[in-house]
Amino acid sequence: MERQTRQQTRQQWWMRILLGVILVLVIGTALVFNRAIHPYAKLRSDAELVAAKRAQASNFDGFWWNTRDKSYVTLSATRKNQPVYVVIAQKTGKVNVVLKDRGTTRNAILQKTWARYQPKRVLNAGLRMHKNKLVWDVGFVARNGRLGYASYDYRSGRLLSVIRDL
């Protein structure tokens, strides 16, 4: 009888130790993940503050970070009850606000990219300034596993350039 009790006690301790180790691993993974996304979350938060203050934008429902040649952040928002994109140059802080109905939407550009290049997946799609014009840049992984970038004119949706097989 005493032997069974010792065995049960030992098993209970091993279970507690195992649960403790699992708990430590779960908490550690959550902390690492939180640290990994913190710069992205801070960038978004800072961009929303700039867009609210300098562009009078609110109701943010999209955020994209474009780092092709210069770094830009784009927010989808509303201003005076109209849907807009707020494009912020990260280095200079210059803010451009464009009405969504004056150009091509992100979803329309993504549809064009999927139809034309049939990528494995799209990595990023965001607005940036190029020669004083807004362009959509779409980064994707092609079927052959190589990277590609397509740039589209914001106003017309016309393909401006494509880089493939990187």
The closest of 22, 131, 134 to 72, measured between CA atoms, is: 134
CB 164, CB 148: distance < 8 Å: yes
pLDDT for res 27: 84
pLDDT for res 125: 92
| CATH number of the domain located at residue range(s) 106-163 in this protein | 3.10.450.40
Q: What is the pTM of this model?
A: 0.73
pLDDT for res 16: 86
The residues of the chain that CATH labels 3.10.450.40 are 106-163
Q: How confident is the prediction along the chain (166 residues), in pLDDT tens digits per residue?
A: 566 677 777 788 888 888 888 988 888 787 777 666 677 788 888 999 999 999 999 999 999 988 877 899 999 999 999 999 999 998 898 999 999 999 999 999 999 999 999 999 999 999 998 888 999 999 999 999 999 999 999 999 999 999 988 7
| Residues 120, 141: Cα–Cα separation, whole Å | 6
- Decide: helix, strand or coil at residue 68: coil
| Residues 76, 150: Cα–Cα separation, whole Å | 21
Q: How many CA atoms lie within 13 A of 25 on its CB side?
A: 6
